[in-house]
Structure 1
Amino acid sequence: MSLLAFGLNHRRAPISVLERAALDEASLAQILAAASDSPDISEHVVVATCNRTEIYAEVSGFHGAVADLTEAFTSSTGITHDDLKAHLDLHYGDAAVAHVFNVAAGLDSMAVGESQILGQLRAALARGQSDGHVGSSLNSLVQQALRTGKQVHSETGIDEVSRSLVGAGLDAAEQHVGPLADAHVLVVGAGAMSALAATSAVRRGAERLTVVNRTHERGVALAERLEGTARPLDELAEALADADVVISCTGSTGLAITLADVADAQVARGGRRQAFVDLALPHDIGQEVADLTGVVRLGLAELGELLGSSGTVPEVEQARSLVGDAVTRHLGARAASQAAPTVRALRAAAQQVVGRELGRLDQRTPDMSAEHRAEVERAVHRIVDKLLHQPTVRAKELAVDGRLGEYEDALRQLFDLHADGGVL
């Protein structure tokens, strides 16, 4: 069995596609049922949030499982085969395990380090357990990922990453355009990071706040909460021309603001200074924008440098290190467990041989005392344990290295092992 992570998320799919992929109770039940009917899927869990709809599954056949999940996904949502194929985020084997751990730690979230995903993943696991779709393998994986996610939040400062990035961006923007109290701030996007940016700008005393979002209703909700105004996406050009500071985090797979957009805004503004803060990954604002006179652009790399991390964010790097160590441990334990059936078969075969030989000894030495007989049994078992120790250790080592198959075949031939652990 291998792990498969299948679905759509903000890294590869535009918001319009994610919105169509959103699952209600009926479509979620339909996907779960279809996955259960697949002969190539033994365990599965569905994680559905505003920024991702993903299925994590233990599969025996990659191509069959992908085909079945594709059919389940398209038939239960408004996503066409072409859209799914164009934006599908697919991970298999070790990469899928690492993906689940990164998701749980908030490293794959639109707002890096957000902890809400822990509750969402825990709820998805609970549903899978209740419905009987989660077995020991997937349960172990998700539980360990959840523990690692909690460790990341308790042992690193990742909870502060988003606030630190926004703060650094606003500091740099003020240095370029002047105090926010005299500035018009435009926030493009209405997700968690955009909401944080908008809230921070207002708390710093921004003179005006405007929100532009693909889904206008969400933009209106965010703007009203902060006593700002909202404009529809088709008015982005006018909003750019009015704004002194532009903060963008849309989760779009393409550019939300291009060089041409900013050049036009600069013409309309008469060349007055503008600061652009790009909090998205991949980036929302064309990097060439920084070459325009009077314009400064700060992306995540530049903000990381401002925070003293040479282009990286220390809390994120620390979190990635913790997650990497946890993934390595889990993969090692997972691989070692794959060797368990062969090890059990080998030891069971040895016990059968020991049992038969001790039985023959009983027949040939009926006068042996119980004390001597017990000592002989202990000696025989010690010899067998020592003989099997190295083959057992080697099986686990090769499992971790992904080379167990040939060793299993060799053991079965050398020791004449049956599938049930017996010997010929």
Structure 2
Amino acid sequence: MSLIVLGLSHHGAPIGLLEAAALDPSSRGRLESTIVGSEHVVEAVVVSTCNRTEVYAEGLTFHGALTDVSEALAAATGVPLPDLQPHLYVHYEDRGIAHAFSVAAGLDSMAVGEAQILGQLREALTRAQRRGHVGPALNTLLQQALRVGKRVHSETGIDDVSRSLVGVGLGVADDVIGPIAGARVLVIGAGGMGALAATTASQAGAASVTVVNRGLARAERLAARVDGSARAWDERTAALVDADIVISSTGATGVVVTSDDVAAALAARDGRPQLYVDLALPHDVDLSVADLEGATRIGLAELGDALSHAGDVPQVREARDIVTGEVAAFLTERSGEAVAPTVAALRSRAQSVVDDEMARLERRTPDLGDAHRAEVQRTVHRIVEKLLHAPTVRVKEMAQAGQGGSYAKALSELFDLDPREVSVVSTPPVIPVTDDEEVGR
């Protein structure tokens, strides 16, 4: 069994490819089903955000799992595998663990240190748990990654360093329409990014914040939180006219703001400029909007360039140090767990031998007093404990040094341990998660 992480992100894939490979929630679930139904994979979790699509998989064999996951990802995204492969990254075992922790801490994000990834990871894990796509290996890994991410945000100043995609996009407003304070903002989409956009704009002193969403009730709830207003989805084109800044992040599969929509809005605004901040993947705002006089369009590609200088500041170094320490601790604990079944089976075998011999003593010496019998039993147990002490300590030490597997195998062979007994101890039960349970509990 081995951990494999395969995916593509803003680090090595063009935005166009990331858009093509983006998956909606239902597609992520179907991809997981395909992967866990393959020959070489037993667990899978798919994470798809505005700057990454990646699969965490627990495989029976490395090469077989890699083939299964690659082919399933290509089929799910509709991107031919030869077009995907040059941009895919693969992390295996220790590197996969380090990657998961770095992602959860926001260190691998386009906006370094952003905290939204925690919610996205939690959502992915919850979905996989409810559908039975995740077992003890990935559940343990991703639960730990979420804990590490929370620790980084609570113990470092990375939140002060990170600039969200929304913040960077609004930072362009000064050059396009003047100060945000007093500007009218239209937010299209009331999901996580939309909520962040509405809140950020409100806190920056926007004159008004209007929210448009496919579900009006959700738009109204978000608007109420920022003292704004909500409009129905089919009113979004009309709402463009009043907006100085339009921020869109809907998760739709097609364009929701066309070039014609923007041209009509500009004509009705008598030359007043507009800024369109497109945070969606695939993009919400027609790319040709950038060619219209009076309109400025900023997408993820431009935002990525603006954030590329986020750099190696002290708070980021501190966060990386925490992640490095957590990875080391996780690996040490996991190596100990890997040999624990062998140790448990060895002690179980020893206890069985003691029980058999004490039963034989009972038959041969029926007149032996209880006190003497108890003393004999204590003596036998002390002998067994002393004999097992050295191999038990040694196997744990070698596990921490990365050599526990071979030593555990030697113990199994020397003491003729039943492989079935060891495997039973090695496989903890999977506890199903119901719809009303939270992943963090």
Shift of 1:218: 8.0
CA distance in 1, matches of 2:163, 2:303: 21
What SS is found at the alignment partner of 1:402? coil
CA deviation string 1:133-183 (max 9, x = no partner): 111221111111111111111111111112499999x99xx9xx9xx98xx
Partner of 2:47: 47
Structure 1: segments with no counterpart, 5+ residues: 182-191, 257-277, 281-298, 302-311
Post-superposition, which runs of at least 4 consecutive aligned residues in structure 1 deviate over 6 A? 164-168, 215-222, 231-239
Pair 1:158–1:63, CA change in 2 (3 A): same
Shift of 1:383: 2.3
Partner of 2:396: 396
Contact 2:43/2:133, CA 8 A, preserved across alignment: yes
Partner of 2:79: 79
Pair 1:352–1:229, CA change in 2 (3 A): closer
What SS is found at the alignment partner of 1:4? strand
Match for 1:396: what amino acid? K
Partner of 1:250: 301
What SS is found at the alignment partner of 1:8? strand
Partner of 2:66: 66
Contact 2:114/2:164, CA 8 A, preserved across alignment: no
Shift of 1:251: 7.4
Partner of 1:296: none
CA distance in 1, matches of 2:364, 2:388: 27
CA deviation string 1:254-281 (max 9, x = no partner): xx7xxxxxxxxxxxxxxxxxxxxx422x
Contact 2:395/2:404, CA 8 A, preserved across alignment: yes
Shift of 1:363: 2.4
Partner of 1:369: 369
Q: Percent identity?
A: 49
What SS is found at the alignment partner of 1:229? strand
Contact 1:4/1:96, CA 8 A, preserved across alignment: yes
CA distance in 2, matches of 1:135, 1:216: 38
Partner of 2:137: 137
CA distance in 1, matches of 2:409, 2:302: 49
Match for 2:343: what amino acid? V
Residues 405-414 or 147-156, more deviating: 405-414
Residues 395-404 or 130-139, more deviating: 395-404
Partner of 2:322: 322
Shift of 1:409: 3.1
Partner of 1:111: 111
Alignment of 1:227-242 (within 5 A): 228-230=274-276
Match for 1:345: what amino acid? A
Two-structure CA RMSD over aligned residues (Å):
4.5
CA distance in 2, matches of 1:230, 1:147: 36
Contact 1:345/1:419, CA 8 A, preserved across alignment: no
TM-score normalised by length of structure 2: 0.67
Pair 1:333–1:251, CA change in 2 (3 A): farther
Pair 1:165–1:6, CA change in 2 (3 A): closer
CA deviation string 1:57-82 (max 9, x = no partner): 11121111111111211111121112
Structure 2: segments with no counterpart, 5+ residues: 180-192, 207-243, 249-253, 267-271, 278-285, 423-441
Aligned pairs, number: 352
CA deviation string 1:303-344 (max 9, x = no partner): xxxxxxxxx311111111111111111111111111122112
Alignment of 1:248-327 (within 5 A): 250=301, 278-280=306-308, 299-301=309-311, 312-327=312-327
Partner of 2:12: 12
Match for 2:307: what amino acid? L
Partner of 1:266: none
What SS is found at the alignment partner of 2:53? strand
Contact 2:339/2:405, CA 8 A, preserved across alignment: no
Contact 1:106/1:149, CA 8 A, preserved across alignment: yes
Shift of 1:249: 6.9
Pair 1:114–1:164, CA change in 2 (3 A): closer
Pair 1:128–1:369, CA change in 2 (3 A): same
What SS is found at the alignment partner of 1:12? coil
Alignment of 1:91-130 (within 5 A): 91-130=91-130
CA distance in 1, matches of 2:18, 2:316: 26
Pair 1:393–1:13, CA change in 2 (3 A): same
Partner of 1:337: 337
What SS is found at the alignment partner of 1:250? helix
